[in-house]
Structure 1
Amino acid sequence: MYARTKHRTVHFDKPFWISGLSEMVTAGDYVVDEDEELIEGLSWSAYRRVATFITLPATSANKHRMRLMPIDPEELEGLIALDRRNAEAPSQL
């Protein structure tokens, strides 16, 4: 079976929470890896996503270890959308 990994970088303007993680994740750029496998038996090439991971940097909270953490793709897209809405909202002084 043929597999591939797609890489992208996502940016967060505000800190955010990931379910299953005990600490807040700081704002910044994060690498997201999406593993896909070839769907066999079709007359064209098509892939299905089988796993999504976000790379979290080393911090004092995680004992200075970089982590590759699995994340639900829908949760990730929701976090990105929420961050965009918060960035576009006028700040209240």
Structure 2
Amino acid sequence: MTVRSRRDSVVFKHSFCIEGIDRPFPPGTYEVVTDEEEIQGLSFLAFRRIATSFRATDSRRARLTIESFDIDPDDLKEALRIDAVVELGDGLSG
């Protein structure tokens, strides 16, 4: 069985929370890693998602630390949606 990992970056412009993680995160760029396994027995190459992790870098400490959290991709989409709505709302005042 073949497993591959895909790395993407997401950018949040505001502080945010992700369901299932008990603390907020500051604005910034974060790495999302999606692990996928090959679906066997097909006449074409196809993969299915088996895990998604969210990686947060904390440079405030004396040593750089990277935390990795297993997340539901739908929870990440929701956090990004809320961040975009907040961004749109910022332009409405004034």
TM-score scaled by structure 1? Answer: 0.86
Q: Which runs of 5+ in 2 are unaligned?
A: none
Shift of 1:19: 2.4
* Separation (CA, whole Å) in 2 of partners of 1:9 and 1:69: 15
Q: Which residue of 1 is the match for residue 10 of structure 2?
A: 10
SS in 2 for 1:36: strand
AA aligned opposite 1:92 = S
TM-score scaled by structure 2? Answer: 0.85
Equivalences for residues 38-49 of structure 1 within 5 A: 38-49=38-49
Q: Do the aligned partners of residues 80 and 8 (structure 1) sit closer, same or farther apart at CA in structure 2, a change above 3 Å counting?
A: same
* Count of matched residue pairs: 92
Q: Which residue of 2 is the match for residue 85 of structure 1?
A: 85
Q: Deviations over 1:32-58 (max 9, x none)?
A: 000000000110011000000111112
Q: Percent identity?
A: 30
More displaced stretch, 76-85 vs 31-40: 76-85
SS in 2 for 1:40: coil
The Cα RMSD (Å) is: 2.0
Q: Which residue of 1 is the match for residue 34 of structure 2?
A: 34
SS in 2 for 1:66: strand
* Separation (CA, whole Å) in 1 of partners of 2:70 and 2:82: 19
Q: Which runs of 5+ in 1 are unaligned?
A: none
SS in 2 for 1:82: helix
